[in-house]
Amino acid sequence: MAVFRAFFDYVRKPEPSLITDKQAQERWLSKLFRMSLADGVKRAGDPKENPDYPSNRHFVGVWNYPTSYSIIGSRHYDYRNDDNPDDNRAIIDVLYEWDKNGSLDNQYPGAKALYSFVFVFEDGAWKIDDVYTFSDKYASPGSLRGYYSRR
């Protein structure tokens, strides 16, 4: 969970940008996620002309950062064997909450949202392999890695 908290602190700020910081990508993102992100950035075009250009905010998954968040669950699946040496995953379930005061900085007054951050143990460290969203009033279900792969 310490890795999640460090990663989340990093992406809750606009700079440094995980999109342009290759060293941070190596630290935080799995190989498959880095490839998907590179594809998504390439297809996104000019950031000045694309309001949805990839940013740290995409890793949080919402336009307005939550007022608070809580880790509400975690699971670890280690099913490595000779045929699957990298199958060591952890999933962190995170509940976002916004206070009831609506504003330009809080377009989700009183809302709650569930996100699952999937980590894989790769190159001796836990790295983000995907972020899953679930259906709610403001979002559709989805996979961030899948989103970057198909953009």
Domains of the chain, residue spans: 2-150
Model confidence pTM above 0.85: yes
Position 151 pLDDT exceeds 70: no
Q: Which two tokens stand for residue 119?
A: 């980590």
Q: How confident is the model at residue 139 (pLDDT cuts 50, 70, 90)?
A: confident
Looking at residue 138, what is its pLDDT?
A: 76
Radius of gyration from C-alpha coordinates of the chain: 16
Question: Mean pLDDT, to the nearest integer, of 32-61?
Answer: 92
- Tally of CA atoms within 13 A in the half-sphere of 112 that contains its CB: 7
Residue 134 phi/psi, 5° resolution? -120, 155
Position 105 pLDDT exceeds 90: no
Q: How far apart are CA 74 and CA 18, in angstroms?
A: 24
Q: How far apart are CA 4 and CA 115, in angstroms?
A: 12
Q: How far apart are CA 134 and CA 137, in angstroms?
A: 10
What CATH number labels 2-150?
3.10.450
